[in-house]
Amino acid sequence: MKRILVLHGPNLNLLGEREPDVYGTLSLSQLNRVVSEHGKSLKIVIMTAQSNSEGELIDILHRVRKKVDAVVFNPGAYTHYSYALRDAVSAIQIPVVEVHLSDIKKREPFRRISVIAPVCLAQISGYGALSYVKAIDKLSRLSAPSKGSKRGRK
């Protein structure tokens, strides 16, 4: 059975409270239920984690690299400047899809650039909770990696 980690970055613990006009009204626990139920419908085990700390996000990625088949990652504001997270995503050599609830291409200029997306399989943004569902769907269609491959990464 496939295993996917859904990893939430900084301030996502405040979903439902923080700028609901931008990020929606679902709480983090409600979003985690949505993705877990969707995974279950696809016979995929969904694990979830959240941290406001860049170092902890890196540690989580390192820890799960041999325990999951893929990662859905919302790096939050780290998207735009964290080369450390970019390097961690590249280093773990499993497919990662970067997601965002809002459409970062239509936001403030500093939010339009992702330093992490180039090392990800894809970036999906602007669909609210559906961004996560679309990412899980994309990852569910990947075939099993061959030994020595980058596990589905482009």
Check if the beta carbon of residue 79 is closer than 8 Å to that of residue 101.
no
Check if the beta carbon of residue 73 is closer than 8 Å to that of residue 79.
no
Which residues are identified as catalytic? 23, 100
Query: What single-letter amino acid sits at 145?
Result: P
How many Cβ atoms from other residues are within 10 Å of residue 106's Cβ?
10
Nearest-CA neighbor of 116 among 143, 89, 95? 89
Instruction: Reduce the DSSP state of residue 132 to 3 states and report it.
Output: helix
Beta-bridge mates of residue 96: 71
Structure tokens at 136: 């899980």
